[in-house]
Amino acid sequence: MDNLRGMAIFATVVARGSMASAAEALGMTPSAVSQQIRKLETQAQVTLLHRTTRKLTLTEAGEVFYRSCAQMLAIAEEAEQRLGEWREAPVGELRLAAPVGFSGKLITEALRPLLENHRQLRLQLFFHDEQIDLIEQRIDLAIRVGNLADSSLVARHLAEWNNLVCAAPSYLRRYGPVEHPEQLLGLDWLSLNTYSHGIQLQFDGPAGQTCKLRPEPRVAANSMIALRQFTLDGLGVSVQPEPEVRDALEEGRLQRLLPGWSLPSIGIYAVTPRRDAQPAKVKVAIEALRRHLGGMLAARPASAVQGP
């Protein structure tokens, strides 16, 4: 392995026809090139080149050795070219992890242009509501929601989404209108159980009012999709990201409660293992996600959809 550099220099000398020409191509001095050739010959105890003042001539052993060195150099150049392609163009397999709630058109609409425009790009998608080890699972890129506790990851902000309190019209017909956040404590609460100390909600209302609640869930789950379906089925009230329930709100299958009060927004992030340079496939995927997910909230403000 120590001779790989010398072999590459030897192949360049033969291909260029002289020490001086090889030295110019390699950014070396002719004497340094000559020393590398002598080192190879000394270690092999075989003469590779006959040198005269006019030309270089390969010995029989040198000719055989040159064919192997030239093949090695060609493979190395091809490998370097492949690395350049990964750096400059989206190629290979992109392994992307995201919460289960993104498994529908949230992710497909964002990534469809990548698949259409880059035929050499392959996609592997992994949907988990629990955070997974990106290194162990060889994940190139993950979408994470909310606070990021793992400082070993590089996070890029993609979007900020509004959180809405939602319920089905059938549920609200049984319990009547909700005019103040404290009334939520008397309703059936549907909540994620991924919070270690339960969920605390802080509502900001008109004229600077605030209201903090820690509702006790009737149904707790580690899947936002399951909670959303329970909400659609009229079994209770839940907090939902506005882009994920936009269609249900517009179609009247869900209604927003307390339109005059707001909850803190939720951050959407693209996270990657800490690396100095990202391949092109990761860069274009992050940009596609930022463009699509960031534009969803601007497409229709949450205040435009209101319930009772």
Contact status, residue 289 vs residue 238, Cβ threshold 8 Å: no
Cβ-based burial of 125 (10 A; exposed 0-12, middle 13-18, buried ≥19): middle
- Copy the structure tokens of residue 89: 């163009």
Write the CA distances from 120 to 53, 64, 81, 242, integer angstroms. Answer: 51, 38, 16, 34
pLDDT of residue 197 exceeding 60, the answer is no
pTM confidence score: 0.65
Domain map of the chain by residue range? 4-86, 92-161+267-299, 163-264
Supply the CATH classification number for the domain 163-264. 3.40.190.290
* Other beta carbons within 10 Å of 67: 12
Paired sense of beta strands 163-167 and 255-256, if any? antiparallel
Residue 307 pLDDT: 38
Three-state SS at 240: strand
Residue 308 pLDDT: 33
Q: For 62-89, write each residue's pLDDT tens digit.
A: 888 888 888 888 887 777 666 655 556 7
pLDDT of residue 105 exceeding 90, the answer is no
Fold: same for 92-161+267-299 and 163-264: yes
The residue whose two tokens read 């000398």 is: 13
Q: Which CATH number fits domain 4-86: 3.10.110.10, 1.10.10.10, 3.40.720.10, 1.10.760.10?
A: 1.10.10.10
Q: For 248-301, write each residue's pLDDT tens digit.
A: 999 999 999 999 999 999 899 999 987 667 888 898 899 999 988 887 654 444
Identify any residues that bridge with 304 across adjacent strands, giving them in sequence order.
none
Q: For 141-186, write each residue's pLDDT tens digit.
A: 999 988 776 667 788 999 999 999 999 999 999 988 899 999 999 9
Residue 51 pLDDT: 78
* Other beta carbons within 10 Å of 308: 15
Cβ-based burial of 246 (10 A; exposed 0-12, middle 13-18, buried ≥19): buried
- Copy the structure tokens of residue 232: 């659609």
The residue whose two tokens read 């900020």 is: 160
pLDDT of residue 119 exceeding 50, the answer is yes
Q: Which CATH architecture has domain 92-161+267-299?
A: 3-Layer(aba) Sandwich (3.40)
pLDDT of residue 203 exceeding 80, the answer is yes
- Rounded Cα gap, residues 164 and 179, in angstroms: 14
Residue type for position 147: N
Q: For 11-57, write each residue's pLDDT tens digit.
A: 888 888 888 888 888 888 988 888 888 888 888 888 888 877 677 88
Residue 303 pLDDT: 38
Averaged pLDDT of the chain: 84
* Other beta carbons within 10 Å of 135: 11
Identify any residues that bridge with 159 across adjacent strands, giving them in sequence order.
268
The closest alpha carbon to 236, from 164, 308, 165, 167, belongs to 167
Output phi, psi for 273, to 5 deg: -60, 150
